[in-house]
Amino acid sequence: MTEEDIYLFDLQGFIVLKNVVKDEWIKSANKRLDDFEVMDPERYPEPLVLGTPKTDDNLYISNILEGGSEFVPFMDIPDVLGTIERITGGGYRLK
């Protein structure tokens, strides 16, 4: 993070990291999400559950990182982890 990034984070409360997610990750995850969209929620693999009732316009699935190998790359993106460490002073854990 640059000093300008830190300043903007302090000012706005968020930071935008560009080009840290590969296109193929997004395509793969979207395909899996499309599968979940047409699947009966009772058939979701554990521990996936609906976070809110499913509607024609909304599908909120909790624990999605455990929904398949397609989501694993999103867990430890080096640029994201470095930014989290810089902002928090380090010491965090994904559960």
pLDDT band at 89; cut points 50, 70, 90: confident
Number of Cβ within a 10 Å radius of residue 67: 19
**Sequence spans of domains, the chain:** 3-88
How many whole angstroms separate alpha carbon 56 and alpha carbon 46? Answer: 23
To which H or E segment does residue 81 belong?
A: helix 78-88
pTM of full prediction above 0.85? no
Scanning the structure block, which residue is given the tokens 């979940």?
36
Number of Cβ within a 10 Å radius of residue 81: 13
Q: What confidence tens digit (pLDDT) does each residue in 25-77 have?
A: 999 999 999 999 999 999 999 999 999 999 989 999 999 999 999 999 998 89
